[in-house]
Structure 1
Amino acid sequence: MVKHIAGFTTLTLTVIVLLGTSFQTDETIDLGNYSTEGLNLNYTVIDDIQESDELLALLNENDSDEAFTPYLGKSFVGFKEALAFKESGGNYNSVNTYGYLGKYQFGASTLKLIGIHNPAKFLKNPRLQEKAFLANTARNKWILRRDIKNFVGKRINGIVVTESGILAAAHLAGPGSVKKYLRSYGLDNFADGYGTTVYYYMKRFSGYDTSFVKPNRKAKAI
């Protein structure tokens, strides 16, 4: 019995020595060379937005430019961010070769319709750009309300018409061009200066939930 205990003890000591050897490294790390001094370690991470009412509350506070979540999907925020990425790469400071401004590439004439008369200040104000997008989308939805009712669910040029596709195309080409496209069943297909068509936006941005936007003929960003 004593021999067995001694043998077990020897085996245990051997395993401990071997394990200790296997976890040794050739170099010793000097932690004195590392410091967190001067770093901002106060992180505030927004919770994932799971419920639509939380999203609407954020948008109603006009903080939609800060309401980021990696799970945008087909939400309204997903819609506006996808559209912004196509327009400018999401760059608030962008000005294209035709003079269209900001994250959503607004023209000066459209800005005037929603109450913005200083394009230079608009370009420097991300929050105002977000308000402008919401106001312009609400205005377009009012102008196109009958066409949304009459054409959503129908197939034109091989794609099913959706409300988000209509609103995206209106942002690109104006609501008048979208009316012509829908009422001609795709024959009158406006293209902008870069060759992007109403059809392309109708297809690219179909199926998003834009029910948050309420039609408003007098929508203003200011």
Structure 2
Amino acid sequence: MTRTYQDYFDALGFRESSSRYAIENPFGFIGKYQFGEAALHDLGYYAIDNSDPNLFRNDWVGNWSGKNGIHSKQDYLNNGPVQEIIIEEWHEVLWRRIEHNDLAKYDGQILNGVPITISGMLAASHLLGTGGLRSFLQSGAVTSPGDGFGTTAYDYMTHFEGYETPFSVNRGQFVVIEGGPGRDVLSSYGGNAVLNGKGGIDTALYSDPVADYDIDSRFDGAWTVTHKQSGPISTDILIDIERVQFSDLSLALDLDGHAGITARIAGAVFGQEAVSDQALVGIGLGLLDNGMHYEALMQLAIDAALGAEAASHTAVVDLLYQNVVGVAPAATEQAHYVGLLEAGEYSVASLGVMAAATALNETNIDLVGLSQTGLAYV
């Protein structure tokens, strides 16, 4: 269901004052939309003659300009229609400030799990000013400043998400979009961009199939994604981005992290061909990304591969040896590794981790090659 710009103002007025025009809060903010002196000064209604020396005190000791028939605070409180005019004027100002501060580019991004939209940015800026919005966005939605009542940027960004507005973002220009320490989903929307995840498990999002793009690793650890179909060629540089999601599949780029662990486990437990099993890889990555530890995933994989036989140390050794070395273990080798398990020097999971980390397993799964192409998953 479409939520219109008027729906947005209705919701904003209700959140600010329960839609009451003739109200003043304990901090001196007035009217349905809880304006202070500074905003009404910027709009030309209050103290434009410098009659109030402190526009952040909200004591309303200055003069009113008479704009739109408002000559006093009481005039303002008594005139609902003018308050509706003022809130639209104010949002024009807010949007210009958002653009001027290079914040409009965050529209459509997901920072720390928080969808960023134009209406959400406008609402957060109305609550806290452009500076408060900037702090929220540039922290990757981790730092969430609040007002005197404890209402935060996060509250307004999420509560006012996704309303229609008359404003739009120029998607064709070069931008640098940075996330934060949380889990971010970043997109250039077809332009040329630097997407920097800056910590956490971050995803670059693309709307077309992977075949429409060239993906290359760079010497400095960054990656480039070049769109080579339908229209002008555009190239993004990905920094500290662990996942790339296309319309048909995804790539995991962190072969020194969760992607490498997943590939090693797949090779050691299920065989080198399992690295190409995109569904299996997706399960492993999902579990690691959501907090499962290496040994726990290894145990889960061995249990899945062996079923009831997972309780047999001999079966575990045979499985790992066959997949890593390529042949069944000799009796002496089998006895050696079974003995380590029986003596408690290794657990099943830790033995699996040892096998997965061997150079032989890394060669089997072509870990070096995967570090240049990424690990595909669905």
TMscore range, shorter length = 0.5 to 0.7
2:142 maps to 187
**Alpha-carbon distance in structure 1 between the residues aligned to 2:168 and 2:83:** 16
CA distance in 2 between partners of 1:157 and 1:205 (Å): 17
4+ aligned runs moved over 6 Å, structure 1 = none
Q: How does 1:28-177 map to 2 (within 5 A)?
A: 74-117=3-46, 118=64, 119-145=73-99, 146-148=102-104, 150-177=105-132
CA distance in 1, matches of 2:19, 2:168: 21
* Cα distance in 2 between the residues matched to 1:213 and 1:186: 21
The code of the aligned residue for 2:5 comes to: F
Checking the alignment, whether the CA contact within 8 Å between 1:95 and 1:102 is kept in structure 2 is yes
Question: Which residue identity is paired with 1:184?
Answer: S
Structure 1 residues 133 and 176: alpha-carbon distance in aligned structure 2, compared to 1, 3 A threshold: same
In 2, distance between residues paired with 1:128 and 1:115? Answer: 13
Give TM-score, length-normalised by structure 2.
0.36
Give identity over the alignment, percent.
Answer: 34
What's the CA shift for 1:188? 3.1
Q: Deviations over 1:193-221 (max 9, x none)?
A: 1100001100000000012699xxxxxxx
TM-score (norm 1): 0.60
Q: Output one character per residue of 1:70-93: Cα deviation in whole Å (capped at 9) or x when no partner.
A: xx9510000000010000010101
What corresponds to 1:196 in structure 2?
Answer: 151
Query: CA separation of 1:213/1:121 partners in 2, compared to 1, >3 Å: closer, same or farther?
Result: farther
CA distance in 1, matches of 2:27, 2:158: 24
In the aligned structure 2, how far is the partner of 1:134 from the partner of 1:159? 26
Change (3 A) 1:114 1:82: same
SS in 2 for 1:100: coil
CA distance in 1, matches of 2:79, 2:44: 14
Pick closer, same or farther for the CA change 1:99–1:203 going to 2, 3 Å: same
Pairwise CA distance, 1:179: 1.3
Partners of 2:115 and 2:149 in 1: CA distance: 24
Contact 1:92 1:126 in 2 (8 A): yes
Question: What SS class does the counterpart of residue 127 from structure 1 fall into?
Answer: helix
Q: Distance in 2 between matches of 1:144 and 1:209?
A: 17
For 2:273, the equivalent position in structure 1 comes to none
Q: Is the 8 A contact 2:118 2:162 kept in 1?
A: yes
Of 74-83 and 123-132, deviating more is: 123-132
Amino acid at match of 1:143: R
Bigger relative CO (Cα 8 Å, ≥ 6 apart): 1
Cα gap change, 1:205/1:111 in structure 2, threshold over 3 Å: closer, same or farther? same
1:128 counterpart SS class: helix
Given that 1:134 and 1:213 are in contact with CA atoms closer than 8 Å, whether structure 2 keeps it comes out as no
Letter in 2 for 1:126: G
SS for the counterpart of 1:178 is helix
Contact 1:137 1:213 in 2 (8 A): no
Give, in angstroms, the shift of residue 181 of structure 1. 1.1
Over residues 89-128 of structure 1, what are the superposed CA-to-partner deviations in whole Å (9 max), with x where a residue is unaligned?
1010111111110010101111111011133321121122
Distance, in Å, in 2 between the alignment partners of 1:89 and 1:109 is 22
Partner of 1:51: none
Distance 1:157 1:197 in 2: 15
Partners of 1:189 and 1:88 in 2: how far apart?
22
